[in-house]
Amino acid sequence: MASTTGMRGGGFYDAHSSGQRAAMDEFLPWIVEAMADLPLPTSGSPIALLDLGSSEGANAIHAVGAIIEALRERTSADIWTFFDDLPTNDFNRLFANLFPDTKRSSRPPGIYPAAVGGSLFERVAPASSLHVATTFNAVGWMSALPATRLPHFISPSPPTQRASREGVSVTPEQRAPFTQQAREDILRFYRARAVELKPGGKLLVQVFGRNDEHDTANGIVDGLSDAMLDMVKDGRLTRDVYEAFVLPVFYRSLPELLPPTGDDGEPPAFRVDKAEARECRVPFNEELVRSGDSRAWAESYAGFIRAFSEPVVTSGLPNTPDRPELVEELYGRMANRFAADPERYEFHFISLGALLTRL
């Protein structure tokens, strides 16, 4: 099973990522305000801005647009805007979002957008070439899965107590290799950005995570696990498929997100200007409170999960002619479970944010 792929394309991710937009908006003002003291080029060279994990682009373009607006209060310099994601990403959709009227004239004067294919855990830009880098809801995806199974669950995040089910569990020993992989991933991420960013450059890192009360995984992985186990029980999937599948996402705490401080003898590359964990608004949860329509909530919730999980879920199912039907059935069962028991799959979006300056 592939550890990480692009999000579902064809506009589906854009249409089902209002939760991600709300989470990024919690911390977007930090990077916008930081543009007031960003060191600007003096030689006439352009400002370079990189967004990592841009997916289909709607949310990324929203964020980059806010940053450009802040920069335009200080300078009329040309601005490169680079949008990065994995080569499997739907870049056609991204460019359609950049140029909605399909004309070159729709590009604002002095703004030069480009796409970059590559993992955010590796360098994707030349050394000391960037003034600003951002990433939203992306560094929680793991670069690779440890060579181990989680036979009794589909995630290193344990099942929620309210969603307990016989035989479903994750032990601390089983979680440990995933914690180590996540630690290595975040170190690789910061080392790559340290090379790419100019001294004084700004980096905003935002991602789903956990705090002392809630884990963003809760509800998401419980629902996906229950739907898969229901299909195992009904003979639609084998138990081995369930035991081999792991959602390659790690939900960090705020300390696990932050860069090394230099305690290991290596000089720190970044100054942490701000760092915080917040529970952010979830549009489909708000709509449930307003309308009380649990079916509509369940469909929106399942669509939200499907938008980011379908490619990796599909790769984890048997490569048989009926795989598309199995995928449809899986997400349909998930939505049915959500509608039947909203409390079991209660969802809290914990958004972690860190604003950093390259030393």
- Taking each continuous run of H as one helix and of E as one strand, the counts in the chain are 12, 7
The predicted pLDDT at position 42 comes to: 87
pLDDT (0 to 100) of residue 246: 97
What pLDDT is attached to residue 10?
A: 74
Does residue 64 contact residue 50 with C-beta atoms inside 8 Å?
no
CA distance 150 to 171: 9
d(Cα 66, Cα 73) in Å, to the nearest integer? 11
Write the DSSP string, 66-126: HHHHHHHTT----EEEEEEE-TTS-HHHHHHHHSTTS-GGGSPTTEEEEEEES-TTS--S-
Residues 126/194, Cβ–Cβ less than 8 Å: no
Q: What is the CATH number of domain 12-358?
A: 3.40.50.150
The residues, any chain, with a CB within 8 Å of residue 267's CB and separated by 6 or more, are: 359
Nearest-angstrom CA–CA distance, 94 and 219 = 29
pLDDT at 2: 42
Residue 150, SS3 per DSSP: coil
Q: Using CA atoms, how far apart are residues 182 and 293, in angstroms rounded to an integer?
A: 38
Q: Distance between CA atoms of 228 and 250, rounded to whole angstroms?
A: 20
Distance, in Å, from the CA atom of 81 to the CA atom of 250, rounded to the nearest integer, reads 28
- Rounded Cα gap, residues 125 and 186, in angstroms: 18
- Residue 112 pairs in a beta bridge with 80
Nearest to 200 by CA among 33, 39, 75: 39
pLDDT value of position 22: 87
Confidence (pLDDT) at 197: 98
Contact 181/196 with Cβ under 8 angstroms? no
Partner residues linked to 316 by β-bridges: none
Q: What angle do CA 309, 3, 59 make, to 5 degrees?
A: 45
Classified as helix, coil or strand, 204 is strand
Nearest residue to 349 (alpha-carbon basis) of 278, 293, 284, 297: 278
Nearest-angstrom CA–CA distance, 245 and 237: 12
Question: What is the Cα–Cα distance from 53 to 84, expressed in whole angstroms?
Answer: 6
Query: pTM here?
Result: 0.94
List of residues 6+ apart from 234 with CB closer than 8 A: none
CA-CA distance, 283 to 19, in Å (whole number)? Answer: 6
The span from the CA of 147 to the CA of 86, in Å, is: 22
Q: Look up residue 72 and give its two tokens.
A: 């335009």
Asked whether the beta carbons of 274 and 14 are under 8 A apart, the reply is no
* Confidence at residue 118, expressed as pLDDT on a 0 to 100 scale: 97
Domain residue ranges of the chain, discontinuous segments joined by +: 12-358
pLDDT of 13 reads 76
Structure tokens at 52: 């990592």
Q: CA 296 → CA 15, 153, 299, 302, 346, distances in Å?
A: 15, 27, 5, 10, 15
pLDDT for the residue numbered 102: 64
Q: Which residues of the chain have pLDDT under 70?
A: 1-9, 14, 102-106, 263-265
pLDDT for position 12: 76
pLDDT tens-digit series, residues 298-328: 999 999 999 999 999 999 999 999 999 999 9
Neighbours of 314 (CB within 10 A): 18
Position 269, amino acid:
A
